[in-house]
A and B are shown apart, each in its own frame.
Chain A
Amino acid sequence: MSKESVIPFKGTAEQEKQLMAVIEEHKGEDGALIPVLHKAQGIYGYLPIEVQKMIAEGLGVSLAEVYGVVTFYTQFSLNPTGEYKVAVCLGTACYVKGSGDIIDKIKEILKIDVGGCTPDGKFSLEATRCIGACGLAPVLTVNDDVYGRLVVDDVEGILKKYMD
């Protein structure tokens, strides 16, 4: 049942040094946790258990509290962004045009949840708000490539392009 990321942690000594400096800067302040998490995500790109443990230790709060705050705010991510960031628009227009089914299909093919990343680090999946391409609904993007007027059967072909 654990929600730990399946991607191996690849933090460097330099990143750890930066994080320690951030913790030092905020230690003892009221409400230090959120700014530290914010900056930690800036350093590592996401907040895996290894980083959360360093923050818990450094600020003297429990790991459960750190995790509670990370999961409360959507801006924090437990998983890294993949080489290919797949983002499916769940804005109103896309949603009524069936983007819910599109995202379900992607989850099925990549075997990850929204917010997740494949174990090889290749694909990550995000649900976005309206990206302003309602005329093309339903829409998804892979990095800077935009795909519109989609049906569920298009999904496999799109992902295949990035698989090799």
Chain B
Amino acid sequence: MEMVNLKINGQEISVPAGTTVLEAARSAGIEIPTLCYLKDVSQTGSCRMCLVEIKGGRALQAACVYPVSEGLEVLTNTPKVREARKVTLELLLSNHDRKCLTCVRNRNCELQTLADELGVTDIAFEGVRNEYAIDELSPSIVRDNNKCILCRRCVNMCKNIQTVGAIDTMERGFKTQVTCAFEKSLGEVSCVNCGQCIAVCPVGALREKDVTDDVWAAIANPDMHVVVQTAPAVRAALGEEFGLPIGTAVTGKMAAALRRLGFDKVFDTDFAADLTIMEEGTELLERIQNGGKLPMITSCSPGWIKFCEHNFPDMLDNLSSCKSPHEMYGAIIKSYYAEKMGIDPKSIYVVSIMPCTAKKFEAQRDELSVNGLQDVDTVLTTRELARMIKEAGIRFTQLPDENFDDPFGDQATGAGVIFGATGGVMEAAIRTVADILDNTSHSEIEYEAVRGLEGIKIASVTAGGKTIRAAVAHGLGNARELINKVRNGEIELDFIEIMACPGGCVNGGGQPIVPAKVRMDMDIRTERAKAIYNEDKALPLRKSHDNPYIKKLYEEYLGKPCGHKSHELLHTHYIARDKH
């Protein structure tokens, strides 16, 4: 690797060619403030917070986009630099709705942190401020442009990484704002509700539609039987909200906290993930054996589903007809469980805790209901759950580890847990399909080829004399690339897993928000995925079809996978939508 020698604040350092001044300075222990910069997402140099002096240079330069060169001399801490940064920050603050105390991002806001670190004690410029209506038509995402600082991190994520392009920068000068085309609401356009815009927003301009009040009301209602379920990825990140290191699994404490919040039953969506594997695995085998539509594509990710409906309406028959796991669980809770417990399904209220904002939209889809009852009543993100735990005065880190409730077993299988990371659904499906086809129980069950952060992963598995050609894509830009290859006939596949969010659900739009500075030092997707794969390893059962409670559910109620009852409760259909 070619190395380049430069001086930063008089300190001689050597870094690989192509490094930016920002990265070089950080490697030398020097922090440079940033706002619009986000590693791997946004490198536009537009906010001017990271200005530095380049010796011999005419003007101050943006360190986040300035490449190092041999002999470069950089100064990051001169009166000129400090003054420029502070004035820039004060100008940003002058047109910012500074209601920090009541802001969803209070104490986790990069603008607030900078104001603190740069010693802004007074806003020097009190001029006219833009006033915008808050867009809250979408069931998933709320946009408040009064707080937007026009860093464009959300635009880069939406347009370049996800290739959704629902938002962009409109108008110019003081009237500039980030909106949808024709200033429509996020609820009216081809936004897929993935919430990655929220995850990258440095301030409180984007947030989920908070419905914690609905859940508090249900819990307080003595006539309601309130059941909660939690997705696999939630346990891998919830601890971050309580100061635990990124990548700490908090499964037992989470179950304990949910019980203390007052939920009548605490279930694990991992059980429904196991159920999904039974249905989806069977559906795949049926399609392969009966000449059905291939490749079959997973349907767990509601962001991906809406993306497919908008962009690939000709591929809807390729989507597995399986409902996503938490929707399956909702349907089972309001049928099998209700019957078993002797509870009127109308008085059951199902809450799903999800790492996902798209699940909020999904839960409202008409087709995800049985007998006029929505399968899931309310979806909360990991962040909303953390807010409830804090509000209830539960000392999360002091909680004992507790288990999930019967009658679905106190723990699901490792296959269910790994649903939370990219490649996990594929791996879980292969574990089951390979056993069925070979009529045996394989002991080699860790499929490394489908793990990790490669954008598109290709693998093939041979079982029962059949080769299943599989691919995994995460992030919608990668999904678009893969599906286009399939449509153009460049690649032939039998089974595809797609998750809308980069890294899968562990990095979902409903997960705790990690500041840009931390994301420069570690890949949160890898850390959270580790928590999930470790949990898989530690579980006694690691294949969905080995889950005794799944077997019991089929014996007592459903009959067989993809049977009549399953189709009534666990499968769905999709709708072609307008591209824009």
Contacts and interface: CB of A to CB of B under 8 A. Distances in A.
Contacts of A65: 159, 165, 168
A63 B165 contact: yes
A72 B179 CA distance: 13
Contacts of B184: 1-2
B283 to A, nearest CB: 33
A66 B181 contact: yes
A3 B172 contact: no
Interface string A66-92: 111001100000000000000000000
Given A2-B182, A62-B159, A66-B181, A57 B172 contact: no
Nearest to A73: B172
Nearest to B180: A64
Interface string B32-54: 00000000000000000000000
A71 B171 CA distance: 5
Contact of B166 (A3, A52, A61, A62): A62
B446 interface: no
Contacts of A72: 170-172
Contacts of B580: 53, 56, 63
A4 interface: yes
A49 interface: yes
Interface in A1-46: 1-4
Given A62-B165, A62-B166, A72-B171, A67 B133 contact: no
Contacts of B133: 1
B138 to A, nearest CB: 13
B492 interface: no
Nearest to A48: B182
B165 A61 contact: yes
Most buried by A among B135, B184, B185, B189: B184
A88 B265 CA distance: 68
Most buried by B among A3, A53, A68: A68
Interface in B534-580: 579-580
Contacts of A68: 168-170, 181
Given A53-B580, A57-B579, A64 B181 contact: yes
Given A53-B580, A56-B580, A57-B579, A62 B182 contact: no
B167 interface: yes
A68 B183 CA distance: 10
A64 B183 contact: no
B183 A63 contact: no
A64 B133 CA distance: 19
B366 to A, nearest CB: 24
A72 B168 CA distance: 11
Nearest to B176: A72
Contacts of A57: 579
B165 A3 contact: no
A124 to B, nearest CB: 18
A74 to B, nearest CB: 9
B579 A67 contact: no
Contact of A67 (B159, B164, B182, B185): B182
Contacts of A2: 182-184, 188
Contacts of B170: 67-68, 71-72
A36 B183 CA distance: 22
Main secondary structure of the interface of B (DSSP, over half): loop
A58 to B, nearest CB: 12
A145 B165 CA distance: 45
Contacts of A67: 168, 170, 181-182
Contacts of A53: 580
A52 B165 CA distance: 14
Interface string A106-133: 0000000000000000000000000000
Contacts of B171: 71-72
B170 to A, nearest CB: 5
Contacts of A66: 181
Contacts of A4: 182
B399 to A, nearest CB: 44
Contacts of B179: 64
A63 B182 CA distance: 9
A56 B579 CA distance: 10
Given A57-B579, A71-B171, A63 B181 contact: yes
A66 B172 CA distance: 14
Most buried by B among A61, A71, A72: A71
Nearest to B580: A63
Contacts of B182: 2-4, 49, 67
Interface string B109-137: 00000000000000000000000010100
B181 A52 contact: yes
A64 B167 contact: yes
Contacts of B166: 62, 64
Contacts of B579: 57
A61 B171 CA distance: 18
Given A1-B133, A56-B580, A57-B579, A62 B168 contact: yes
Contacts of A1: 133, 135, 183-185
Most buried by A among B166, B167, B168, B172: B168
Contacts of A61: 165
A66 B180 CA distance: 11
Contacts of A56: 580
Contacts of B181: 49, 52, 62-64, 66-68
A103 to B, nearest CB: 17
Nearest to B183: A3
Most buried by B among A4, A64, A66, A68: A64
Nearest to A69: B168
A143 B275 CA distance: 71
B168 to A, nearest CB: 4
Nearest to B166: A64
Contacts of A71: 170-172
Given A3-B182, A52-B181, A64-B167, 12 more contacts: A1-B185, A2-B184, A2-B188, A53-B580, A62-B166, A63-B181, A64-B180, A65-B159, A68-B169, A68-B170, A71-B171, A72-B170
6 contacts: A2-B183, A2-B188, A3-B182, A64-B167, A65-B159, A72-B172
The 5 closest A-B pairs by CB, nearest first: A62-B165, A64-B168, A67-B181, A68-B168, A63-B181
